[in-house]
Structure formats: structure tokens, C-alpha cells
Amino acid sequence: MNKTQSRFLHLVITVTLISALLILAGCSKQTTTTTTTTTTTKTTTTTTTMVAPTLTITSPADGASLPAGSITVNIQANNFSVVDKQGQTNISGQGHVHYFLDVDAPTTQGQPAIPANGVWTHVAATTYTFVNVAPGTHSISVELVNNDHTPLNPPVVRKISINVISATTTTTTTAVTTTTPATTTSSSTTTTPATTTTTPSATTTTTTTTTPAGTPITINLTAQGMAFSLSTITVPHGARVTMNFNNADSVSHNFALYTNSSAAPPALFQGQIVAGPATVVYTFTAPATPGTYFFRCDIHPTLMTGSFNVQ
């Protein structure tokens, strides 16, 4: 190999080595591409808006004229469930109804909607009948309340005025016909024909029913420690009962008598609410029909109950 060829071969080898080095360098260099994915989570918040309860007295109408005696009140409550859970824990949107006659509905927050006196009742019903309502102008108030008898917040009350008039007395006049028997005189020659005389008259008949006074009886009943001192009371039928009711507790109690344990209105007797400690005297007539009746404290109807036996 001559000198020229040797130089050429050396050049080829050098170029080859450089090319190989360049190829190796290219392979050793890596490019890393990172892809970042962003995920967006959409959060939906649902807001529930409580609709306020409403109350309407559907009958009687405000200003209505009604006959004396029984007055039935009907109501409609919206966005409010009328339930029989008196004395239990309050639950929003449910409770019962207080009806008042000639007394304004109490609305002090946190205090039972119970008047110190007056005619009122509390029932889990949209109707109630006041009995023995005398002639005159009367007010009727109705209030939706919580299970513990406290007013709603804000209070929901409706009030109307009615005019109670005396019942109409009907007098019946009866015509009475009096017939005089025929008188006949006979002889051999003369005969007197019969004579009939009809005399109209007006007779007014009045029937009066008198209920004899019942046997007087006195009962002493104490409410203490959320319980009655008597679980059973026995009286003669139709007895005139005088009850010395002693509320020895610091909370309100009363005595109310019902036909049975359902305590469906109207009550046979419903004593006024007594804010204790205090004593009142109740007077009422025992049922005329013998049987077993039911009494309770209207403020604590599930805790304070008993049997009222009529013999």
C-alpha cells in the first residue's frame, strides 16, 4: 500500500468513527413529553326553602249570625301537618290546633299558648264544636302551635267575630172540637131531634222536662310529679261533682273528662288550666249513662291519665 492509499484509508476510518460517535450521541439524547390533564368537578348545591304555614277559618264566616247552642269551627291549615303528638318533641312543620272562645290567643314565644282563664281547647283536628254558646257577640280565635303547645315563630293566628242569637220558640195552636151528644125526648106524639154543637177553641201545650238534681259528691285530686294522685275515680251516674283540684307542680295542669281514651272532642268536661302551684274547684255533672270514661291532663295527655267509672 503506498502512501496515498494509506492516507485515504486513514481519512475514511476517521470519518467513520466521527459518524458513529454522532449517531451514538443522538440515540443517547431522549426527549420526554409530559401531558397534564386537569379535571374540573362541578359541585351543585341544593337549597330547600321552608314555606311558612298559613291558616284559614273556613266556617263560620266573620260576622255570621248563628243560633245559640253548638257552634262548629272549621279551619284549613297549609304547609303544616296536624298531628296528635301533644307533649312530645317539637318537629318543624307539624303540631296541633288551639281553639279559643272570647279570649285572645297567647303568642309569647317559648310559652305555652294557654290562657289563664276563658273557654279554649287543644286538639289534633281541623274542626271543633263549642257547646252551650249563649246569645251575644263572641270572638273565635284559632292558633297553630308546636307539639309542646308553644306558638309557631312567627305566630299563626286567625280571629273572627260572630253574632249568636236566641233560638226561635215555636208555639203550636191546636183546634179542639167539642161535640154535645144528641138529646132525644120521646112521647107518643112529640120527638125532639138531636142537636150537635161544635165549639172551636185554641189550646197551647207546653212540655217541660226537668232533670232531677244528682247526688252531690266531693273528690280531692292532686297533680304532683307529673302524675295524678288517683288513677281511678268512681261516682254515681248523674252525680253533681265538686272536685278540689290541687296542682302541686310548678308547671300547668288541668282535669278533663272524655268519653274514651281517644279523647275525641268535645270533652264531657274540660277544667281550666291551672298554673301551679295552685288549687281550684271544678264543678260538673257526671254522665247519666253508667260506664267507664277517661280523664287526663290536657297539657300532658300521655303522662297523666285515669279511668272515670260511672255507676
User: Model confidence over 43-66: pLDDT tens digits?
Assistant: 555 555 679 999 999 999 999 999
pLDDT in tens, 238-292: 999 999 999 999 888 999 999 999 988 889 999 988 888 899 999 999 999 999 9
184: its cell numbers? 132525644
Tell me which long-range contacts 131-136 makes (C-beta under 8 A, separation of at least 24). 131/69, 131/70, 131/266, 132/69, 132/70, 133/68, 133/69, 133/70, 133/71, 133/101, 133/164, 134/68, 134/164, 135/68, 135/164, 135/165, 135/166, 136/163, 136/164
% of the chain beyond a pLDDT of 70: 74
- Cell numbers of 186, please? 120521646
Mean pLDDT for the stretch of residues 129-151: 91
Percentage of residues of the chain with pLDDT beyond 90: 49
Average pLDDT over residues 143-155: 94
Return the beta strands (E) in 149-258 as ranges. Answer: 151-165, 173-175, 202-204, 216-223, 232-235, 240-247, 252-253, 256-258
149: left (phi over 0), alpha (psi -120 to 50) or beta: left
Of 128, 139, 123, nearest in space to 72 by CA: 128
Per residue in 163-181, pLDDT tens?
999 866 444 444 444 444 4
Residue of 48 and 162 predicted with greater confidence: 162
Give the distance from CA 58 to its chain's centroid.
Answer: 15
Whole-number pLDDT of residue 50: 75
C-alpha cell at 253: 295542669
CB 55 within 8 A of CB 158: yes
Helix (H, G, I), strand (E, B) or coil at 282: strand
For residue 104, what pLDDT is reported? 93
How many of the other CB atoms lie within 10 Å of CB of 284?
Answer: 16
- Which pLDDT belongs to residue 27? 57
Q: What is the predicted pLDDT for the residue at 29?
A: 52
DSSP 179: B
- What is the average pLDDT value for the chain, to the nearest integer? 80
Structure-model confidence comparison of residues 304 and 6, the more confident one: 304
Say what the pLDDT of residue 120 is: 79
Which has the closest alpha carbon to 150: 224, 211, 98, 218? Answer: 98
The yes-or-no verdict on residue 189 having pLDDT over 50 is no
> Which of 259, 245, 254 lies closest to 298, judged by CA?
254
| Mean pLDDT confidence for 24-41 | 55
Q: Residue 12: pLDDT above 80? A: no
Of residues 273 and 294, the one with the higher pLDDT is: 294
Per-residue model confidence as pLDDT tens digits over 125-135: 999 888 778 89
Neighbours of 150 (CB within 10 A): 20
Judged by average pLDDT, the poorest of 24-33, 103-112, 163-172, 181-190 is 181-190
Q: Give the single-character DSSP code of 303.
A: T
- Residue that the C-alpha cell 296528635 belongs to: 84
DSSP string, 249-266: SSSEE--EEESSTT-PSS
Could you tell me if 139 and 101 are in contact, meaning their C-beta atoms sit under 8 angstroms apart? yes
- Pairwise CA distance, residues 97 & 84, whole Å: 10
Is the pLDDT confidence value at 99 over 80? yes
Asked if residues 53 and 93 have their Cβ atoms less than 8 Å apart, the reply is yes
Kindly report, residue by residue over 190-204, the tens digit of the pLDDT: 444 444 444 444 443
The answer, yes or no, to whether residue 223 has pLDDT greater than 70, is yes
Q: How far, in Å, CA of 259 to CA of 268, rounded?
A: 7
